[in-house]
Amino acid sequence: MTRQIAILSGKGGAGKTSITASIIKMMNSVVAVDADVNASNLPILLPHTQQSTKPYYGMNIAQVDHDQCTGCALCLSACQFDAISMANNGRILIDSDCEGCAACAFVCSENAISMAERKGGDWYVSSIDNGYLIHADLIPGEDNSGKLITKVRNEASAIAKEQNIAYIVIDGPPGTSCQAISSITGADLVLAVVEESLSGLSDYRRLAELVQKFSIPHFVLLNKAGFSADVEENIVNAAAEFDGTIIGRIPFDRKIPEALQKLQSLAEMNDYKDIIIELLEQITSSLKN
């Protein structure tokens, strides 16, 4: 049975992707997923060879058959997004504000408006040293990022099943929006990477509340620690409140961002390699119970 581990943080810049890459590099075999489709950074830290690129089509948008259109303008009044206009020559125009609701097509008595696919981005399958990497890039401004995340996760599940790979590791997006929900739905375990700061604490509480609603067990990794014993204590107390388990602590260390600038993760650093190994052992052991 394939087990899915989602790694998230309540805020950006907490170190989630660098921790995810470190854990992935220490695994024997894995399907890695970058679910942050708005800013896919996991491929930067995971050397990979791209195998395929496929287009992603999100929502449909309206298109006009001008040979059929009589210019009655019923579609203008039906559009609630002000995405339809009429040019000086009477030609109906549909702009990028179209949300694909199809109200215009419904009211068009001449069947001059139909719904067509619009490309929203691309998704990729790549090979890495110990498995596969699935990631995607959403075109800036496009909607339905949650749908794209579901697409790459489904592809990851299919590959894991076909290749008999036991673990899928998901690098989720920051925050607690629909993208985060799409990243944790169906996951077996969540690892929350929590920056030791007041904002890290505040955002962790929102993330923990979300995870609790989905009844998913979660671990907590304190990152960039060592600045405030009071904040750390509050994070530990918050984890206990939401039934989270603290499984590690990584101090703030300038050598870590210096290593990341060289595309090296904690798995390549002698001072932190053993910590990552211990994290991985705790995660996989919990999934075997």
- For residues 5 and 187, the answer to whether their CB atoms sit within 8 Å is yes
pLDDT at residue 244 is higher than 70: yes
1-21 residue pLDDT tens: 899 999 999 777 878 999 999
What integer pLDDT is reported at residue 59 of this predicted model?
Answer: 82
Q: Which residues contact 41 (CB under 8 A, 6 or more apart)?
A: 17, 34
Q: What is the mean pLDDT of residues 140-158?
A: 88
More confident residue, 52 or 261: 52
pLDDT tens figures, 29-51: 999 999 999 889 999 999 999 99
Residue 139 pLDDT class (50, 70, 90 cuts): confident
- What is the domain partition of the chain in residue ranges? 3-47+129-288, 58-119
Per-residue model confidence (pLDDT) at position 144: 67
pTM: 0.87
Count of other CB atoms within 10 angstroms of residue 287: 16
For residue range 73-127, list pLDDT tens digits in order. Answer: 999 999 999 999 999 998 999 988 888 899 999 999 999 999 998 888 999 999 9
What mean pLDDT, rounded, does the chain reach?
92
What's the pLDDT at 14? Answer: 79
Report domain 3-47+129-288's class. Answer: alpha beta
pLDDT score of 146 more than 90: no
Which pLDDT band holds residue 134 (cuts at 50, 70, 90)?
very high
Burial 12-50 (b: 16+ CB within 10 A, else e): eebbbbbbbbbbbbbbeebbbbbbbbbebbbbebbebee
Fold designation for 58-119: Alpha-Beta Plaits (3.30.70)
**What pLDDT is recorded for position 42?**
94
Q: Average pLDDT in the 54-67 region?
A: 91
**58-119 matches 3-47+129-288 in CATH topology:** no
What tens digit of pLDDT does each residue of 173-230 get? Answer: 988 888 899 999 999 999 999 999 999 999 999 999 999 999 999 999 999 988 899 9
